[in-house]
């Protein structure tokens, strides 16, 4: 059974950095993709970034391009989201999710395409 556990959230300063981790168990890193999503109060869940297991292809939503970097460590079954140049508007609950069939490309990342979810981790960026 697939389990995803996020960690690394917390309070960050505007312009600062945080790194989120998503540890997966019961998941074969040789297929599918893992994505990061976020949801701020009163807003819809937004796709932030994803990485494909097959070839490492990535996707970033426009608002985080150049600031966030997604990476994976297959040996640790862990995907990371390095968040630099944080902004107050990055404040949200961040979730990682996995899907065995998804491939990350230029297509908008939709939470409805992912079927296994972690519990989420709060990121708060102060101005």
pLDDT grade, residue 25 (50/70/90)?
confident
In angstroms, the CA 62 to CA 8 distance is 23
Would residue 119 be called left, alpha or beta, if left means φ above 0 and alpha means ψ between -120 and 50 degrees?
Answer: alpha
2 pLDDT above the threshold of 90: no
62 pLDDT above the threshold of 60: yes
Q: Quick: pLDDT tens for 116-127.
A: 999 999 999 999
């Amino acid at each position: 059974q697939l389990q995803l556990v996020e960690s690394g959230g917390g309070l960050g300063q505007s312009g600062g950095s945080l790194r989120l981790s998503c540890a997966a168990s019961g998941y074969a890193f040789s297929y599918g993709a893992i994505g990061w999503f976020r949801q701020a109060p009163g807003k819809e869940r937004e796709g932030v970034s994803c990485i494909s297991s097959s070839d490492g292809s990535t996707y970033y939503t426009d608002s985080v391009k150049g600031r966030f970097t997604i990476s994976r460590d297959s040996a640790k079954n862990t995907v990371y989201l390095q968040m630099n140049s944080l902004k107050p508007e990055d404040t949200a609950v961040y979730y990682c999710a996995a899907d065995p069939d998804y491939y990350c490309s230029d297509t908008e990342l939709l939470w409805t395409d992912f079927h296994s979810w972690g519990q989420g981790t709060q990121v708060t960026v102060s101005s």
